[in-house]
Amino acid sequence: MKIDNDFNDIDALGDNHIGSSSDTPMREDAFELSKEEKIDIIRDDVRHIMETLGLDLTDDSLHGTPNRVAKMFVNEIFGGLDPNKKPSASTFENKYKYGEMLVEKNITVYSTCEHHLLPIVGKAHVAYISNGSVVGLSKMNRIVDYYAKRPQVQERLTIQIVKELQKVLNTQDVACVIDAKHLCVNSRGIRDVDSSTVTSEFGGKFKEKETRREFLDYIQLDTQF
């Protein structure tokens, strides 16, 4: 009975999309297995799930699904768990002395809800104010993508993006806003297809009302080309 109650409590936490830490929960032995070993194990697990559901894996359409899913998990949608894939965000001296905020908006976010392993799809808007260093624009997109490619909660993703850019740029003056749809809300449970979730993290000068307002005004610009 205690076990049933524990699972009920865990399910309730997941349905309410409550996260446990600002760091991705990882075991100490997370990287002892090779990618190939992980794919082999996950392939067998996916096959077992499909067979348990009553699917006929001898069918041409389903036969390769366990292997495709295993490779997708390890190499693609959860590739951000691999520290070797962390983007090397080289910085450069701000020789042109640009002193205003730089905003990279509408960065596409594809992530996965850690509670139901369903997609999170949306846009991230990231900004920083240089204290002497700048980072290549594409690196900002790559940092977003790296932290998105793992089981996530949106609040943690937003914080991780800001913390990483603060570390790279050696400044607290970094901000991030994410607006995303969660298919665990849109396609199951309450099944509210129109709702989206907005999260934000403001560091340094972005905690000041005027600076934060300027950033939010920038991301509202209707950019069309």
Question: What residues act catalytically?
Answer: 113-116, 154, 182, 184
- Cα–Cα dist 176/215, whole Å: 9
Neighbours of 138 (CB within 10 A): 11
**Do the Cβ atoms of 55 and 124 come closer than 8 Å?**
no
Length of the chain counted residue by residue: 225
Instruction: Please give the backbone phi and psi of residue 3, each rounded to the nearest 5 degrees, phi first.
Output: -65, -45
Quick one: angle between helices 154-169 and 137-148, nearest 10?
A: 140
- Cα–Cα dist 153/22, whole Å: 9
- Name the token pair of 59: 């069918």
**Do the Cβ atoms of 177 and 219 come closer than 8 Å?**
yes
13: part of which helix (H) or strand (E)? helix 2-15
- Cα–Cα dist 212/133, whole Å: 21
**Do the Cβ atoms of 130 and 98 come closer than 8 Å?**
yes
- Cα–Cα dist 153/97, whole Å: 37
Reduce the DSSP state of residue 140 to 3 states and report it: helix
